[in-house]
Structure 1
Amino acid sequence: MMIAAKTVYDKIQEDIQQIPLNEFLLSPEEASSLRSKKVEQIVEKHLTSQEQDVCARVLNEIHTWGPLSDLLEDESITEIMVNGPQSIWIEREGKLFRHPDSFFSDLSFRNCLDRLSHEANAHITKEFPTADGAFRDFRLSMIGSDITQSSVHLSLRRHPKNPWTFLKLADIGWCRPEDLRIFRELIDKKKNFLVVGSTGSGKTSVLNSFLNLLPENERVVIIEDTSEIPLPNKASMKLLTREDPQNVLPAIDQTQLVKRALRLRPDRIAMGEVRGAEAKDFLMALATGHEGSFGTLHAQDAAQALIRLEMLIQMGAPQWNLSAIRRLIQMSLDFVIVVGREASGQRRFKGAYRLCSLEDNGFLLEPFDL
């Protein structure tokens, strides 16, 4: 089917190339309208005798998302990665597979990117060659050819429509049934903690699961770069950062949002990902009475997470010495939850660790088990 559709598409493009760029005595608007009509006539002529699946594939290539159309509808696909018009990869159950289909031309690939950029309001330029946004149920990220030294690269990560719960995670073997008591304990006793893991380890899914343990009358303020986490109840709210590549509007970062969140009467604060100078303000909020708050952090294990946290706090407070930074962590953080992904692609709960004490050479961590 793909070969037949590609053949039809190439014939359509050959005929389109024969259309005059302008018509005699027509305004640019009239010429454009006439050209559009002629293009539609050419497409209709070539598709009249074709099979339905060939017609659908060609129309997708011309008008919508080309080879991505079916992938966007497949709920089993968690991520779509496009390294160029001829290289499409998908993630399913934690494993990567190459998609057998591809874009029929560089032109249709560029047109698809233009449509995605418009819908996601995420545009790359020479000055700003990267962009992030939200497209339907996906988090969209684009990187321009100036950086990749090849084609524009596109990544679409799917947000689950049905947020994870710990019961669902236990059912698929993510943790032991007895581990569920640990998570309930952290929420019920309003402990402050971080969920840490590597890329693709499921940190956001675990954060969603913790939010689903909260009662209906607790107000959570969620802080994110990109909207991925659903609100757990009607009392809660979300704050999103803002970046404007055109520099028309001032940027709003997570540091500013943490300060704003403190004025919104939160019972808890949930940080989508601690990744910069906002670590200092987030932990200071935890240390001054906002118990039961949590977030995620990119790290391989609990010890590495604390070292990285020290570095991030120093970004927000370069004048602080290491002793002051560690005292802040000790005052504000109770536990580190570690998640990971095995070679098979299966995501796993790796353990919960309690910060027992601060020693001369660093923190003492103790595995936590009820």
Structure 2
Amino acid sequence: MAKRHTDSSTARKSRGTGFTISGLLLVALAALTVFVIAPKLTQLPGDFTSTVTYDGESAQLDPATLQLGEPTTIDATRKVEVTKTDGSTAVIHSVSTANLPTGESVTDKTYAINRTDYQQVKGVDGVDDQAGGMVFSHVRHPSKKPFTIYDGTTDAAQKVTFVREETIKGRKAYYFEGESILPVKAEGTLETLQASVGKSMDTDGTVLPNDKVASFVSLIPGAKGDALRAAVAAAGPEIPANYISTNTTKIWIDAELGSPVKTGQDQTISLYADFGEKPYPLLDLNNLQLMADDASVARLADTAASNAFKISLVQTYVPIGLAVLGVLLLAAGAFVARPARKDDAVVEDRELVGSGR
């Protein structure tokens, strides 16, 4: 009789221990998912690559009218890929190619960014300085506060501010816009502009003949014209030339992930005569308008939706499910392993005695 009680108690304890161990393992796995697996999932993958294509128009200076000519249809691409990772740092290679009426324009840049918040990482050799501006993505769960985007043409960070909320291909997005007016500094672009202007002005493009500038300002009326003509008259035979970019950046970022789902720009590059105190615009040399095409926008939105689902699954639903199941198993273990009640044992003894054994 005693052995029977002992065997029953041992079996209960064994089952209870099994439930308890399983419950503890599931709770530990839930914690592991939250603190180890989920953070790795939100990091920029080491094999990441993405290509966005753009449609747009470009207008060039018409020498006959000294105005921008009729715009022509163009296209462009931007390919971004991770070339190297080192812990929390990723080195990304960005190549933007625009097929313009004057030929192919390529901007080739390499940046170092944090794999989690995508901010600039300083002190990495062999990369371009993005001036603190965004080059890949905003942070997850972005606010509506202004932020900066790196502009390769001017090699500077351009401020953009929140305009409104929109729905892009089913994704809630924040639309930001900003304008900058800054000197052109991009290698290749500046040299091309100087060569083109220099050819028509019989200079190297870094300076403008005084008489050519005088012809531009001679027809400007009023006090402004008088001041400019006085400035030209006081200048030497050559006046420094500036090439200024007026750029409007448009970006829609996913309200949950912070990743761009649509981007565009409207940029005009103009020739300025530099009189020292304030440069004066002489000519618009070209205008470029680009917007991510529908196929790219749809793909970016689909990718954002897929990534958001995976992150929510790993950060929220899977850990909660594991934790709840773990707690239930712990409760079951405690219930099964509890000692048998004494009154149950007494009833069993009486039944045995009454049986005549």
Q: Give TM-score scaled by structure 2 length.
A: 0.25
- RCO (CA 8 Å, sep 6+): is it higher in 1 or 2? 2
Q: Which of the two has greater strand per residue? A: 2
Q: Give TM-score scaled by structure 1 length.
A: 0.25
